[in-house]
Amino acid sequence: MSDVGDAGYDELLEAIDAGDGYYLECENEHGSLPPRRVCPHCGSTDIEEVSLPDAGEVVAHTKVHVPTPRFSEDAPYNVVIVDYGQVQLTGQLVGIDDNDITHGLDVTVQLGDATKTGEPVVTFVPAGK
C-alpha cells in the first residue's frame, strides 16, 4: 500500500483485493464506506460490515484526459460511479470499449494498480469478464 494511507480505507482495499469487498451499515440501515466510526446519516455508532453485492450498476462515467501526476501514465482512462444500493463506489473502468460504457452497465469491483506508482486503485470490469 502507499506510504500515506488511512487504515480503514486500506483495509477496504485489501478486502476488495481478496474478493471480500464490504460497506458499513448502521442499525438504521444507512450505508457508508470505510473508514467510519459513526454513521454520517444518523450518528449511530452501531455499525457493522456488510458484503458488497457481486455486481453494481454504473450510474455516472467520465473519461479523464488530464489526470493528477500520480495517474499521468494511465491517462486517458474511464472513471465510473457504481451504485450498490446502500452505497456508491468510484473507480476506474477497464476491459471495455468506450462506446460500450452506458448507465446501467453491470460491473464487478477488483483492485488494480496505478501504472506510475504501483499504488492500489479501485477498478471495475464488466460483470462476467
DSSP string, 92-114: EE-SS-GGG--TT-EEEEEEEE-
Is there a single domain that holds both residue 45 and residue 22? yes
**Looking at the predicted structure, is the pLDDT value of residue 100 above 90?**
yes
How many Cα atoms are found within 13 Å in the side-chain-facing hemisphere of 98? 6
**Mean pLDDT along residues 77-93:** 96
Whole-angstrom distance, CA of residue 78 vs CA of residue 98: 8
**Looking at the predicted structure, is the pLDDT value of residue 68 above 80?**
yes
Question: What's the total number of domains in the chain?
Answer: 2
Q: What percent of the chain has pLDDT over 70?
A: 95
Is there a single domain that holds both residue 46 and residue 84? no
**Looking at the predicted structure, is the pLDDT value of residue 23 above 50?**
yes
Is there a single domain that holds both residue 123 and residue 62? yes
In this prediction, residue 70 has a pLDDT band, given cuts at 50, 70 and 90, of confident
**Mean pLDDT along residues 94-101:** 95
Is there a single domain that holds both residue 57 and residue 110? yes
CATH of the domain at 57: 2.40.50
Q: What is the pLDDT of residue 75?
A: 92
Q: What is the pLDDT of residue 6?
A: 65
| Structural domain span for residue 18 | 1-52
Q: What is the pLDDT of residue 3?
A: 47
Q: How far apart are the first and last CA of the chain?
A: 26
Is there a single domain that holds both residue 94 and residue 65? yes
Whole-angstrom distance, CA of residue 16 vs CA of residue 55: 13
Bond before 53 cis per omega within 30 degrees: no
Query: Pairing relation of β-strands 56-64 and 106-113?
Result: antiparallel
In this prediction, residue 1 has a pLDDT band, given cuts at 50, 70 and 90, of very low
- C-alpha cell, 39: 454513521
Q: What is the pTM assigned to this prediction? A: 0.89
Whole-angstrom distance, CA of residue 129 vs CA of residue 120: 20
